[in-house]
A and B are shown apart, each in its own frame.
Chain A
Amino acid sequence: MKMALTGADAAAYAMKQINPDVLPMYPITPQTQIVMKFSEYVANGEVNTELITAESEHSAMSSAIGSSAAGARTMTATSSNGLALMHEIVYIASSMRLPIVMNVVNRALSGPINIHCDHSDSMAERDSGWIQIYNENPQEVYDHNLMAIKLSEDSNILLPTMVLQDGFITSHAMESLNVEADSKVKSFIGKKKYEGYLLDSKNPKTFGAIDLTDYYMEHKYQQHLAIKEVEGKLKTIYKEFEEKFGRKYNVIEEYNTKDSEIVFVAMSSSCGTIRHRINEMKKDGYNVGLIKVRLFRPFPIDEIVKALKDKKKIIVLDRANSPGAIGGPLYEDIVSATKDYKLNIYNIIYGLGGRNFAPKDVDEILLKVVKNQPFVDFHGVRR
């Protein structure tokens, strides 16, 4: 069924169909739209979810941990400083191996205070052991909410997932998308399988016990191995999803890369603008490619290497900076992944705090790179 929804509404609609047992929440712009819409579903009795209005994001994530450990299918959502306030608990969720699914609407971290999109909030959580899937439009947001549940709850994985979308650019822009029937969604995600949670009085367990020099490292190694399983599992889910709903995905997405010597590497909404410009340039006889990194954690190293190793010039777009580092977080991962091939990789830091990224910016960046300007540079800053 075709519907017109904003990215936030698409997330809320998916959550409605998933009908999680518990949803602790604390509103923050631009994520507010998601929990506002979802509260409406709760108030109308369209879901059976226990909605917990927490007093902060720290509490919301703590409640999510409690309910997930108890065995409830748990979802939540946040943005920016809310995610930063969760930070401490975000690590605990993944370390306790709780399959929480969280919609994160990317917004710049303060300060200076700003409500618009960049990826500084989620990049600050990239080492937390959560799975991170970056989405370009409401359709992807909707689809990946459904798939994230399956992925997180897989008994070989049991890790929480962040389903990310760009604040305002995606979250508040209405677009047409296909949504599936409730019954189809239900049969796709299935019931929560993993047994052995806290509320099992026959087999009582302790969760979150102290873990010192004796076993901490073994538990961290388990997490390390589990997240390595994610890429393979996600691909299986993508296949199943395609068979069921007809929409095809992969952990990275190549566009017009076959005959292009220059390729962009980017994440989330800007990929749309780049693709739009690529189509226009093609008409003028120029071939430029795009690689969209959808799965950022775990980083799909082999796929990235395969896609990039023969390219003349690679332009990595980072919507977050890591001050004092060699480049942006995506750039550093790409460089490390392709270390065996001597590649020309450029890094452009762009769009911080929602700074507009228009088709003309694609041209300007290309021009800079053709002129061999610095390998790591800002774009769109007045200087």
Chain B
Amino acid sequence: MYEITFHSRGGQGAKSAVMLLGKIFSQLDKNIQAFPEYGPEREGAPVRTFLRISEEEINIKSSIESNDMMIFLDDSLFSEEKIDLLKENGILIINTGSEIQLKRKDVKLYLMDITKVALKIINRNVPNIGLMAFFPFLMNEINEQKFKKDLEELLSHKYSKEIVEKNMKTYDEIKKQIGEKYGKKI
């Protein structure tokens, strides 16, 4: 079972991102479980959102306590003790413009200023779709072209053509920056 926790603020689209990923992985014939930690819905409030992906049936129904991947969509939410819930050699993605040094040396750390790109293209701090570019990069079983197509298709169910285009542009830009910063071609 592969387990991911997203830390974000209300309005950044983490819930949408997790639900989209759930749908995409489900189409890959995986069992998934995608759920946010609910409270009163308030823009800016810290929220955790969870995603489980598994070949087997998923029974457990509580929040994730041992992550394969942790994502911070807002760097102000990041603190090193929060990654106590990250497994050894786990992946950590932080949406930030600054350099972050970790005490833990096993963690695979990825830093990317997705907000900057989102602000430039969408003019709002919704870094969720930009973040998506990390998944084909990090997970070998994902076919990037199909992933991108599925993502665009799912987005167009809900949003206008203009919004979808802007989001996909953000995705492409982040994809490019990942390639430049972390080497591997995707």
- Residues on A lying within 8 angstroms of B by beta carbon are 2-4, 6, 30, 115-116, 168-170, 172-176, 269-270, 272-273, 275-276, 279, 356-359
How distant is the Cα of A273 from the Cα of B23 in the complex, in angstroms? 23
A359-B62 in contact (CB<8A): yes
Contacts of B36 in A (CB 8 A): 172
Q: How far is the CB of A115 from the nearest CB of chain B, in Å? A: 7
Partner among A4, A30, A279 whose Cβ is within 8 Å of the Cβ of B22: A4
Q: How far is the CB of B10 from the nearest CB of chain A, in Å? A: 15
Contacts of A359 in B (CB 8 A): 60, 62
Binds A, one of B25-33, B74-82, B115-123, B176-184: B25-33
B58 lies within 8 A of chain A by Cβ: yes
* Interface size of B in residues (CB-CB distance below 8 Å): 24
Interface string of B21-64 (1 = CB under 8 A from A): 01101110111111110101000000000000000001111110
Contacts of B33 in A (CB 8 A): 173-175
How distant is the Cα of A168 from the Cα of B40 in the complex, in angstroms? 12
How distant is the Cα of A239 from the Cα of B184 in the complex, in angstroms? 53
Beyond A4-B23, A174-B22, 20 additional pairs, beta carbon < 8 A: A2-B26, A2-B27, A4-B32, A115-B38, A116-B38, A169-B61, A172-B35, A172-B38, A174-B32, A175-B32, A175-B58, A176-B30, A176-B31, A176-B32, A270-B61, A272-B59, A273-B62, A356-B62, A357-B61, A359-B62
- Residues on B lying within 8 angstroms of A by beta carbon are 18-19, 22-23, 25-27, 29-36, 38, 40, 58-63, 65
What are 24 inter-chain pairs, A to B, with CB distance below 8 A? A4-B23, A4-B26, A115-B38, A116-B38, A168-B38, A172-B38, A173-B33, A173-B34, A174-B22, A174-B32, A175-B34, A175-B58, A176-B26, A270-B61, A272-B59, A272-B61, A273-B59, A273-B61, A273-B62, A276-B60, A279-B59, A356-B62, A358-B62, A358-B63
A273-B60 in contact (CB<8A): yes
How distant is the Cα of A174 from the Cα of B32 in the complex, in angstroms? 7
B34-A4 in contact (CB<8A): yes
Q: Which 10 A-B pairs have the closest CB atoms?
A: A173-B35, A4-B26, A276-B60, A276-B59, A174-B34, A358-B62, A272-B59, A272-B61, A174-B22, A275-B59
Contacts of A168 in B (CB 8 A): 35, 38
How distant is the Cα of A165 from the Cα of B74 in the complex, in angstroms? 33
How distant is the Cα of A275 from the Cα of B38 in the complex, in angstroms? 24
How distant is the Cα of A62 from the Cα of B31 in the complex, in angstroms? 40
Contacts of B61 in A (CB 8 A): 169-170, 173, 269-270, 272-273, 357
How distant is the Cα of A357 from the Cα of B63 in the complex, in angstroms? 9
How distant is the Cα of A94 from the Cα of B19 in the complex, in angstroms? 38
How distant is the Cα of A356 from the Cα of B35 in the complex, in angstroms? 14
On whether A174 and B59 interact (CB within 8 A), knowing A2-B26, A4-B22, A358-B65, the answer reads: no
